[in-house]
Structure 1
Amino acid sequence: MRYPDPPSRGALPALKRWAWRLLPCLVPVLLAACAGSPHRQPTFRTSHSALADLPPRAPSAASAGEANDILFRAIGLVGTRYRWGGNTPAGGFDCSGLVDYIYRTAARIKLPRTSHDMATMGGRNVRRMTQLASGDLVFFDIDGAISHVGVYVGKGRFVHAPNSGGTVRLDDIDGPYWGDHFAYGKRVLD
């Protein structure tokens, strides 16, 4: 890389000439600072779920394509900001807004607006985490009532919009907090 010649001695005071000579040294430092790691937390990490070694499970052969579309849509929204009452990527999501958006845009299925209403709608309930299939809704009982929902993506992981953390994220369903509050899954695609 060729740097411009410094201005003549008489054109700048000594301090400016000295700074101009440092320019070739500062450019790589500034570029390295710009190329540093982002300030966001990593979105994906290795799962610590005990369910990670289970073979992937699709809801049924007939709905495997829809389940795939749902998974890609859900994972593609990881990192979107949380906003209570939100239901779009641009405006942010709360948990039920995220799940409804995923199903509506990936499978053309409109879901009720709240996690409680989603939990009481039709569909087969799945009581054991080991029986969950990709694309299942997963519900969590917090303080005695269903108040959180996410989408199971397989291998012990689910996508959801928790209010803590500030973004849509991928978590272990059997982790210390979520495993203690798991209520059941709901198979919508069969």
Structure 2
Amino acid sequence: MKRLAIDFAAVAGARPNVPAYLHLLWLAPLVALLLGGWQWLQIKQQNASLERALQASVQQAFWQSGKPPAQATGALKPAQRQALNEAVKQLNLPWAAWFAAFERAAQPKVTLLAINPSTQGSTLAISAESDSVERMLAYVEALRRTGFFRDVVLRRHRSDDSVAGGSVQFELLAYPQGAAP
């Protein structure tokens, strides 16, 4: 066999034969990128000018309206006025002082279910529950000893003896010291 001398190494400095139009192909993504960036800047500038115009019109409407704020034209009906006054009276009652007195008189196994003050705050109707009659009476005495109430009266109670360790539900009337009778 005859030996062939084949040189697979490229000649130094030689370029492969590539057509000229393939060299221009890299320009297409660059042009698209430049056009997209230019359009984005145009939209951003347009958005900023619209925002400035909107802000200027809002300021102009605010400062140059010259009209006073709208006034309520309808008066409250007597029933609405009375309900509103009752709600304000309920909010003005000394709730914090009442809760502090109930916390001082707290007893184990006695749960307050409801505290319903009269409109003037002169009487508190209290609903509670305990696990025994003895604890109920101890709670009534503890409320009397707080010194916050002028008098505490057991209004009614109901015990559930059908269940072992049944509960006793009871209602009290408490008269705070500073309240008029």
TM-score, normalised relative to structure 1: 0.21
Q: Which has the larger radius of gyration?
A: 2
Tell me which of the two structures has the higher relative contact order, counting C-alpha pairs closer than 8 angstroms and 6 or more residues apart: 1
Bigger share in helix: 2
Taking structure 2 as the reference length, the TM-score comes to 0.22
